[in-house]
A and B are shown apart, each in its own frame.
Chain A
């Protein structure tokens, strides 16, 4: 059986710094996999490589058996992988709804000629897309805030919106970069609830997370990354109870 997502022998270096060294791992379909490790372990670098923002010096990533080598970010999204960013990168001058609509795939009127010569057709399609986006917002619990500009949303709401934008692309594998960091307890519950619901709906999630409580509650599997290399994998309990890993994680290894 071929793996859902597999990375083999990834190497990335920035100048003298080796961000990933012979990094290999797999992600299984329909599960929530958490990527943990100390700062600088290469977690975000892995996201950048998978989503085509960064070309690895060596190694390959394949998705459902197809290698993603050399594919542009937009092609990888079309293949079914979407991501969020740790620093959110929302379009702050657009409304929450528009942030979601932007990400809906292949819309009529994304080309200027169609916009000019078939305005009615475009307008009808837009109504449909807005409804679609509204449903996604409803799903993440932001329907009431749809018309609000992003800069007026709370941090927790903005985090939910990044997930909504990822969902809008139609991707089945979502890479979430620290979806729970910096959130209040109630917002934390909301987002964990959302992640579990997404899983039951058939999405696969790869999540970078620091909060061990969150990892324990949502992860089916944990990948432990250290100095750009996969050090261990297992259930949350196995990883957390391993004293050697705890030493690396909390012991301040630079």
Chain B
């Protein structure tokens, strides 16, 4: 397949994930290393529904989005009620548990071997089986996602979230429900991640647990950190840059056995370096 088309499609999907992570980490200020798990849940749900011909593509996407919203609300609500640090534990736990389920629940997820043969997406009765059509679908979804993010951030909800980032106590004193706003942000993040999962599965027609593990979550976090928190530009720049990284690495002669480790090592270095020297990322606001 044409490299640039494939890159544009994947980057579009990861922009949706970047928006999702930005809502949760950048805007609601919740540390999360389980975004890839939610992404995976969306991917597996859509795959299941399409492979078993339960529904067509759009209803499947809707089911995935709703399920991921519920999942995120269920996960964040108890953790936010108690203490922010507990969410770190919840988040690691959800991610490891999800990986265990994706890998070991062979009946539902195909286990470590993954799910091959996921049918292509369809829109209004028309199957999108060419690459160009798929690119158009994903880029279209990205534009819709960016539009939604932009609308959210310029609405009172966005202002409320910015105020919460500054001073939760003062927001409560101004008569606003801080918990509800944060859970709403987490819910939106779930919808974005779930939809991205559905697009990812239908685009690649094959998924396996390695796309949705802890390392993938760290990649998503790195995208937001590099791009910049709380801005639309940041959520777009981060994914486009970091998805190009493996290509750049392939130009350097690194043994394939350590390629994955080298990539993750760079993510780690980027996380530390940006926190130390540029906490606002390339085009964002200060975390």
Measuring CB to CB, which residues of chain A are less than 8 angstroms from any residue of chain B? 51, 53, 72-74, 77-78, 82-83, 85, 89-94, 98, 101-103, 105, 107-112, 114-116, 119, 122, 126, 129, 165, 168-169, 171
Does A82 lie within 8 Å of B173, measured CB to CB? yes
Instruction: Please name all residues of chain B whose beta carbon is closer than 8 Å to the beta carbon of A112 when the two chains form the complex.
Output: 152, 155, 157, 184-185, 187-188
B158-171: CB near A (< 8 Å → 1, else 0) gives 11101100110111
Q: Could you count the A-B residue pairs with CB atoms below 8 Å apart for me: how many are there?
A: 101
Residues of the B chain whose Cβ atoms lie less than 8 Å from the Cβ of A77: 173-175
| Interface size of B as a range | 20 to 34
For residue B174, which residue of chain A has the nearest CB?
A103
Query: Which chain B residue lies CB-closest to A52?
Result: B172
**A82-B173, A83-B173, A112-B188 known; A101-B159 Cβ under 8 A:** yes
Q: Write the B38-51 contact mask toward A (1 if CB under 8 angstroms, else 0).
A: 00000000000000
Q: From residue 39 to 98 of chain B, which have CB atoms closer than 8 A to chain A?
A: none
Shortest CB–CB separation between residue A109 and chain B, in angstroms? 4
B7 CB to nearest A CB, Å:
28
Those of B194-220 within 8 Å (CB) of chain A: none
Contact in complex: B173, A89 (CB < 8 Å): yes
Distance in angstroms between the alpha carbons of A116 and B146 in the assembled complex: 11
Do B156 and A108 touch across chains, with their CB atoms under 8 A apart? Answer: yes
Cβ contact within 8 Å between A74 and B177: yes
Interface residue from B152, B167, B177 paired with A89 (Cβ < 8 Å): B167
Contacts of A168 in B (CB 8 A): 174
**Is B5 in the interface zone, CB < 8 Å from A?**
no
Closest Cβ–Cβ distance, residue A155 to chain B (whole Å): 17
Partner of B175, one of A111, A115, A169: A169
The 26 listed contacts between A and B (C-beta, < 8 Å) are A51-B173, A73-B172, A74-B172, A74-B175, A82-B173, A89-B167, A89-B169, A90-B167, A91-B162, A93-B162, A93-B166, A94-B163, A94-B166, A109-B156, A110-B160, A110-B176, A110-B181, A111-B184, A112-B184, A112-B188, A114-B155, A114-B157, A115-B152, A115-B157, A169-B175, A171-B175
Interface residues of B in 137-159 (CB under 8 A from A): 148, 151-152, 155-159
11 other contacts beyond A74-B176, A74-B178, A102-B174, with CB at 8 A cut-off? A73-B175, A78-B175, A90-B170, A91-B170, A92-B166, A101-B159, A102-B160, A107-B156, A111-B184, A114-B155, A169-B175
User: A115 contacts B169, CB within 8 Å?
Assistant: no
C-alpha spacing A105/B157, complex, angstroms: 13
Select one of B157, B162, B173, B187 contacting A110, CB under 8 A.
B157
Residues of A close to B156: CB separation below 8 A: 101-102, 107-110, 115, 122, 126, 129
What residues on A are CB-neighbors of B181 within 8 Å?
110
**B171 — which chain A residues lie within 8 A by C-beta?**
102
Q: Nearest Cβ in chain B — how far from A23, in angstroms?
A: 21
- With A53-B169, A93-B166 known as contacts, the answer to whether A111 contacts B157 (CB < 8 A) is yes
Known pairs A89-B167, A91-B163, A93-B162; A115 contacts B172 (CB<8 A):
no
Residue numbers in A under 8 Å from B162 (CB-CB): 91, 93-94
In contact, A116 and B174 (Cβ under 8 angstroms): no
Return chain B residues, CB-CB under 8 Å to A126.
155-156
Tell me if A94 and B175 are in contact (CB < 8 A).
no
Asked if A165 contacts B174 (CB within 8 A), the reply is: yes
The CB with the most chain B CB atoms within 10 A, among A77, A83, A116, A165, is that of A116
Q: Which of A85, A98, A111, A114 contacts B170 (CB 8 A)?
A: A85
